[in-house]
């Protein structure tokens, strides 16, 4: 059961091969047996999962089952979930029990999904390796010496290891696509505003976006159908109709115009990663697509612009965690100032403190125009680069990361870690959709192909990815850890 995609599980449930309760019990058993080695979950919701599975079985028996009824998944521990601990990977929220459901959680529950628990993550989504979690690093199931990527590393690792067939992550600068690439699964970052951010603990409000992580593009399409849509509780959520993202999956790719940004194939790209990506692009050519080189000339400004804008927004968003209303509170504070200082010093990890300090500095008087305003101007140029490119081509393709998954502890220098996101960050600055699909290996570590589209072209991206997966089997490869523990 654990080796099936969501689409395959739905067919099995519809055929009565097993019940949702049996499927849920099987996966909870795998989490109990195997996650001690991975550390992909922070909280496992046994009772709630079994209750939801029984409700799904009852709905199916009554002839009221939908496309996702009874299908299990996991939630990144950044989505508020009623009566469930929601930590954002931080000591600051270690004791926080959410009093309400995030919009994404609410929509998926209404669709009949069964949440098995909350997955590990870099603290407040700040990181590219899942080593910044208060609950310890997550291991990559393909190679325990490697990171799974971040910040949605727990979600990616859990799917790759067969602990759950799908998970929901968030992407602020690549945090769905990079771990999807490192763990050999499929991950989609929708257009900014396509999915509500209500109840999603904020890192950088103009960049954060929730998205699905699963084994296949078809599975991501099923999940996006349930997740997308306008939400009055989120002022940044777009009031726009939601198509059926599964309708166009089987559309042939003849005539598709693919652009290869020359800036994504230069210095710093691992030659073996480049070879795997170019092999994947040749598959698209065999399916009738044409390929041309394009330019995104402001790409090299993306990382400095992002690491001004995102920390500035984080400084504002995280100011609410002060030890007064909720979250970690220091013991025996001498006065109010001591309460603030020690609660935040004890509650936040080093990377979060670093980004808060950077953000506070760039927003301060005398530096706002020099840094924050200038970064926003650069952001507009980056967005225009993409708009110009999509005048010439339908989609852009390139590597999701310059290297395969790196070793745990290998990138101790923050700047080296930030450079891992060179191919993913600009997409968030521009607000466009992007996804990563498995496209090969370097040794035993997966390589991800990144596919990018213009605003609200998720259906086209999913179609392109699905057609690639119909002609390749990279997305069906499983790590030895999962195979040996079947």
Query: 186-189 and 434-442 as β-strands: parallel, antiparallel, unpaired?
Result: antiparallel
Place of tokens 């795997």: 276
pLDDT at residue 365, rounded to an integer: 86
Q: How confident is the model at residue 411 (pLDDT cuts 50, 70, 90)?
A: confident
Instruction: Give a yes or no: residue 187 inside a domain.
Output: yes
Instruction: Give a yes or no: residue 193 inside a domain.
Output: yes
| Mean pLDDT (the chain, rounded) | 97
For residues 300, 302, 304 and 306, what is the CA-based torsion angle, rounded to 10 degrees?
Answer: -170
Phi then psi for residue 68, to 5 deg, are -115, 5
Task: Domain count for the chain, please give it.
Answer: 1
Q: How confident is the model at residue 203 (pLDDT cuts 50, 70, 90)?
A: very high
pLDDT at residue 484, rounded to an integer: 75
Domain residues for the domain of 186 are 6-258+391-484
> CA-CA distance, 145 to 168, in Å (whole number)?
25
Catalytic residue among 175, 196, 315, 343: 175
Phi then psi for residue 16, to 5 deg, are 75, 20
Chain-centroid distance of CA 162 in Å reads: 17
Instruction: Give a yes or no: residue 275 inside a domain.
Output: no
Catalytic residue among 10, 20, 76, 115: 76
Residue 151 bears catalytic tag = yes
Model confidence over 7-42: pLDDT tens digits? Answer: 999 999 999 999 999 999 999 999 999 999 999 999
pTM equals 0.97
Instruction: Give a yes or no: residue 284 inside a domain.
Output: no
If phi > 0 it is left, if psi is from -120 to 50 it is alpha, else beta; for residue 366 that is left
Model confidence over 338-368: pLDDT tens digits? Answer: 999 999 999 999 999 999 999 999 999 889 9
Instruction: Give a yes or no: residue 294 inside a domain.
Output: no
Place of tokens 């691992």: 270
Catalytic residue among 20, 133, 151, 436: 151
At residue 251, does pLDDT exceed 90? yes
pLDDT at residue 189, rounded to an integer: 98
Radius of gyration for the chain, computed over Cα atoms and rounded to the nearest angstrom: 21
> CA-CA distance, 58 to 4, in Å (whole number)?
22
pLDDT at residue 1, rounded to an integer: 86
Spatial contact of 278 and 264, defined as CB atoms under 8 Å apart: no
Q: Where residue 144 sits, what CATH number does that domain have?
A: 3.90.1300.10
Cα→Cα distances 49→109, 111, 120, 226, 237, Å: 11, 14, 18, 19, 29
Residue 175 bears catalytic tag = yes
Model confidence over 449-464: pLDDT tens digits? Answer: 999 999 999 999 999 9
Place of tokens 């904020």: 202
pLDDT at residue 360, rounded to an integer: 95
pLDDT at residue 447, rounded to an integer: 98
Task: Tell me which DSSP letter residue 100 carries.
Answer: S
Tell me the H-state helices in 364-424. 374-389, 414-418
Spatial contact of 86 and 94, defined as CB atoms under 8 Å apart: no
Spatial contact of 314 and 203, defined as CB atoms under 8 Å apart: yes
């Amino acid at each position: 059961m654990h080796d099936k995609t969501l689409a395959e599980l739905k067919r099995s449930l519809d055929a009565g091969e097993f019940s949702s309760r049996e499927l849920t019990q099987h996966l909870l058993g795998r989490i109990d047996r195997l996650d001690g080695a991975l550390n992909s979950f922070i909280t496992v919701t046994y009772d709630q999962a079994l209750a939801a599975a029984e409700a799904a079985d009852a709905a199916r028996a009554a002839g009221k089952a939908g496309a996702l009824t009874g299908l299990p998944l996991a939630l990144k521990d950044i989505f508020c979930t009623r009566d469930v601990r929601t930590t954002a990977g931080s000591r600051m929220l270690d004791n926080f029990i959410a009093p309400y459901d995030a919009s994404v959680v609410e929509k998926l529950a209404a669709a009949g999904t069964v949440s098995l628990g909350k997955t590990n993550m870099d603290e407040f989504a700040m990181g590219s390796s899942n080593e910044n979690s208060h609950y310890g690093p997550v291991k990559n199931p393909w190679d325990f010496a490697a990171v799974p990527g971040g910040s949605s590393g727990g979600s990616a690792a859990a799917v790759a290891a067969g602990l759950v067939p799908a998970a929901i992550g968030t992407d602020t600068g690549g945090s769905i696509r990079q771990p999807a690439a490192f763990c050999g699964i499929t991950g989609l970052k929708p257009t900014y505003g396509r999915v509500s951010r209500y109840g999603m603990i904020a890192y950088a409000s103009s960049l954060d976006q929730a998205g699905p992580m699963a084994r296949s593009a078809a599975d991501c399409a099923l999940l996006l159908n349930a997740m997308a849509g306008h939400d009055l509780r989120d002022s940044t959520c777009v009031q726009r109709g939601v198509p059926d993202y599964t309708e166009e999956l089987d559309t042939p790719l003849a005539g598709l115009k693919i652009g290869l940004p020359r800036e994504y194939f230069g210095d710093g790209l691992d030659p073996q990663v480049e070879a795997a990506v170019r092999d994947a692009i040749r598959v698209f050519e065999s399916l009738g697509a044409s390929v041309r080189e394009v330019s995104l000339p402001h790409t090299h400004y993306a990382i400095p612009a992002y690491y001004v804008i995102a920390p500035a927004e984080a400084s504002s968003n995280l100011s609410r965690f002060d030890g007064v209303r909720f979250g970690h509170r220091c013991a025996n504070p001498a006065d109010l100032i001591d309460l603030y200082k020690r609660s935040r010093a004890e509650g936040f990890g080093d990377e979060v403190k670093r980004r808060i300090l950077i953000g506070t500095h760039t927003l301060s008087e005398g530096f706002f125009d020099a840094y924050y305003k200038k970064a926003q101007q650069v952001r507009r140029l980056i967005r225009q680069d993409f708009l110009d490119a999509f005048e010439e081509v339908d989609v852009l393709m390139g590597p999701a990361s310059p290297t395969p998954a790196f070793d745990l502890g290998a990138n101790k220098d923050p700047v080296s870690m930030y450079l891992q996101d060179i191919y993913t960050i600009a997409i968030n600055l521009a607000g466009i959709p992007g996804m990563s699909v498995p496209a090969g290996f370097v040794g035993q570590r997966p390589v991800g192909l990144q596919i990018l589209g213009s605003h609200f072209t998720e259906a086209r991206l999913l179609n392109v990815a699905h057609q690639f997966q119909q002609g390749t089997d990279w997305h069906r490869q499983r790590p030895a850890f999962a195979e040996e523990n079947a």
